[in-house]
Structure 1
Amino acid sequence: MFNPNGVTAWFTSVVGIINQISMLTIILTGAAVIREREHGTLEHLLVMPLTAFEIAMAKVWANSLVILLATSASLYLVVMKTLDVPFAGSVALWFSGVVLYLFFATALGIFLGTVSQSMAQFALLIILVVVVLQLLSGGSTPVESQPQWLQYLTFFLPSRHFVSFSQKIIYRGGGLAAVWPQFAMVGAVGLAFFVYSLSLFRKSIAVTK
């Protein structure tokens, strides 16, 4: 209904941005944690009057800012200008949802970077986690085509709700009234996972001390 000519680029371009947001955010955040631990710069942070929360939030906002700038450039230059994909809804509303999702993705990156002992182990975990997030999000194949029991599990994946509210905003022109359940779910899961990741990160710092 919202793509009467069946233009493939309308779907693949947006899904490509969504997948890259997930992958780059998790990799950049987790790799930063591991590199600081391997190069000994984490000890430099420990001697400063900083808490584990402040260190973690610095990684969240620094990496999120880079991803937001890259997403803005990709959306405007590639999707909207080069591929001529119409954006029916509010750009500001969509980016508000992106910020919520980045909160979860950076928390996941901190978690993987904390539990990994080396960059090689982190790379293996990235393959497992990112592939699952992308395959079960509904961006490549509809969630409705998955087994019923798996659909229930994907309800707790923020990537599924990210794809859902992106499609509603971009293709259907949906407003906040149409996407607030997805926003709430992404925010709730992201907050819970951030608290859990922060507790593990705090324990790792205590061990390092």
Structure 2
Amino acid sequence: MRWITNIYRLGVKEIFSLLRDPVLMGLIFYTFTFAIYTVAHGVQTELRNASIAVVDEDRSELSGQITGAFLPPYFKTPSEIDLGAVDPGMDAGRYTFVLDIPPDFEADVLAGRIPEIQLNVDATAMTIAGNGATYISSIVNAELLKFVSRSSGSVVLPVELRVRAKYNPNLDSTWFMAVMQLINNLTILAIILSGAAVIREREHGTLEHLLVMPVTSSEIMLAKIWANGLVIVLAAVLSLQFIVQGLLGIPIVGSIALFTLGSAVYLFAVTAMGITLSTLATTMPQFGLLSIPVFVVMNLLSGGITPLESMPQGLQNTVQVLPSTHFIKFAQAVLYRGAGIEIVWPQLLATTIIGVAFFAFGLARFRATLASAR
């Protein structure tokens, strides 16, 4: 009971210390409000208002029909340019796509020949380039089908493809970006707050006070983990309720209680990682520089931005040691697809095992740090 009491009282001290830090409190508020809202609205992966130009060398009914099919909100009104203006326009960044319709294009189509249309794509913005090329191909094929069916009677296709998007029926990237940004912010705050708690003790000289008290290193570390984890879980749940669901209007089909449980398990692992990093640094700037590459790797290689299946097999196996890899699978299954505990328990178990391993290593490092400070 004394062990539990010490952990509780040290944790309460940690919470009051955090509440008295206006910089960290401001960071928590910004991270779970404005940072999520602005990223969800500002970062879009779907095609919107793409600039397109058309080189119409045919000047036929069909070429005009194709040109007129590029409509908002996917494309801006097409600009008609000459062939010689293609390279200068794309070099200057005025056009993302340039469609070149060759001479006698309509006549070749009616004669049953196979004419070619050239599409020039500025692939600097890779996502927009890929999505836009697919849209343009679909639009051109649809207009060709309309024109041919009107000229030679009905054309019956052997296969009719009907696409039904599940979990995000409007294919709105805001739904994805808001939740992924919340998870990323949860990760970086867990690392920063837990590590800053140790660095703050060292810089303020209160670490020496703890050393003369009848407390153990495990009690100190567990107190920092539960206190900082509680603050972050509470902030994440409030952000999910009032920012993601309320302000952004994104539906959450899964159990928020289950997500809270998974977040608590995940934060146990990540805060232990943050304390481990703080034992390797002596000042806050060093800790910041050390934590940045760790967070970047966890952010980019955990499956939240790039699917794990697209990575090399060796890298897929390596990132399994990161708790974020399993938590992102858990969060997407719960929040997007409404999965229950019977589906996501393997991710919870893997996160727990990784968290225990990080805690054991971090505790050994923390004990060594306390021993050197005596």
What TM bracket, shorter-length normalisation? Answer: over 0.9
Deviations 1:81-125 (A, max 9, x none): 111211111111111100000001110111001111221211111
- The structure with the largest alpha-carbon Rg is 2
Q: How many angstroms does 1:156 deviate by?
A: 1.6
Query: Within the alignment, does 1:28 sit opposite 2:193 as a pair?
Result: yes
Higher strand content, 1 or 2: 2
What letter matches 1:87 in structure 2?
I
Question: C-alpha displacement at 1:168, in angstroms?
Answer: 0.6
Percent sequence identity over aligned pairs: 52
Q: How far apart, CA to CA, are the structure 1 residues paired with 2:204 and 2:341?
A: 45
Give the gaps of 5 or more residues in structure 2. 1-165
Letter in 2 for 1:44: H
User: What is the rounded CA distance, in whole Å, between the counterparts of 2:320 and 2:275 in structure 1?
Assistant: 22
Q: TM-score, length-normalised on structure 2?
A: 0.55
1:37 maps to which residue? Answer: 202
Aligned to 2:184: 19
1:203 to partner: Cα distance: 1.1
CA distance in structure 2 between the partners assigned to 1:115 and 1:188 by the alignment: 23
Segments ≥4 residues shifted beyond 4 Å: none
Give 3-state SS (helix, strand or coil) of 1:31's partner: helix
| 1:1-209 matched pairs, under 5 angstroms | 1-209=166-374
1:155 partner letter? Q
Distance 2:370 2:311 in 1: 41
Aligned CA-pair RMSD: 0.9
Structure 1's unaligned 5+ residue stretches are: none
Cα offsets for 1:42-73 (capped at 9, x unmatched) = 00111111100111111111111110121121
**Equivalents in 2 of 1:155, 1:129: separation in Å?**
15
Task: Name the structure with the higher helix share.
Answer: 1
Distance 2:184 2:219 in 1: 28
Q: Which has the higher contact order (CA 8 A, sep 6+)?
A: 1
- What is the CA distance between 1:179 and its match in structure 2? 0.3
Cα offset for 1:2?
1.5
**Counterpart amino acid of residue 45 in structure 1:** L
**Match of 2:321, SS?**
coil
TM-score for the superposition, normalised by structure 1: 0.97
C-alpha separation in 1, matches of 2:234 and 2:336: 22
Query: What secondary structure sits across from 1:129 in the alignment?
Result: helix
Q: What amino acid is the match of 2:208?
A: E
| Distance (Å, rounded) in 2 between the aligned partners of 1:62 and 1:183 | 21
